[in-house]
Amino acid sequence: MKKVSVLFVCMGNICRSPTAHGVFQKIVEEQGLDEAILIDSAGTHAYHVGEPPDRRSQAVASARGYDLSQLRARQVSHQDFHEYDYLLAMDKANLEILEQSCPEELGHKLKLFLEFAPQYDVDEVPDPYYGGAQGFEYVLDLVEAASSGLVEDIRKRYL
């Protein structure tokens, strides 16, 4: 059986997308779906390639039981559009960058991650990089909600 594959995307792949990666990974494991779902994260820009997630993202995630320490930033590649079933952007700016690079026939794979968190009246995960701890907490709240919605979507569509 082919795994369902999910790629979380933000700008530098050190705050939002690795947070989503770590949260979603834990939820998938807890639900016994780790053999069915492949998860990764990447950035639209190469600013931080090879670096671990931002220490603030790691601290906030760790406090809620998520381990981001093994993740390393990478940039989205052309191959990602072919390999992943979901390419989930954290905001409209990064979605637009993905849309410009994505082959037209694969555009249906691109979405905003918060489409899976309709209980929130926002459609973008804000970049917490230049803010304080509250921004990282809010990102985690949004990511937890969207991750739960994404698991349900995958169950309905693929499993």
From 15, 16, 80, 102, active-site residue: 16
In the annotation, is 141 catalytic? no
Q: Are 65 and 74 in contact (CB under 8 A)?
A: no
What single letter denotes the amino acid at residue 40?
A: D
Query: What phi and psi values does residue 7 have, to the nearest 5 degrees?
Result: -120, 120
From 40, 54, 80, 127, active-site residue: 127
From 10, 15, 74, 91, active-site residue: 10
In the annotation, is 153 catalytic? no
Give the count of alpha carbons within 13 A of 41, CB side only.
Answer: 30
- Of 14, 15, 49, 5, residue with least CA distance to 125: 15
d(CA 48, CA 37): 26
Two structure tokens written together for 15: 């705050």
Q: Are 10 and 16 in contact (CB under 8 A)?
A: yes
Residue 9: strand, helix, or coil: strand
β-partners of residue 7 are: 40, 87
In the annotation, is 56 catalytic? no
Question: What are the residue numbers of the active site?
Answer: 10, 16, 127
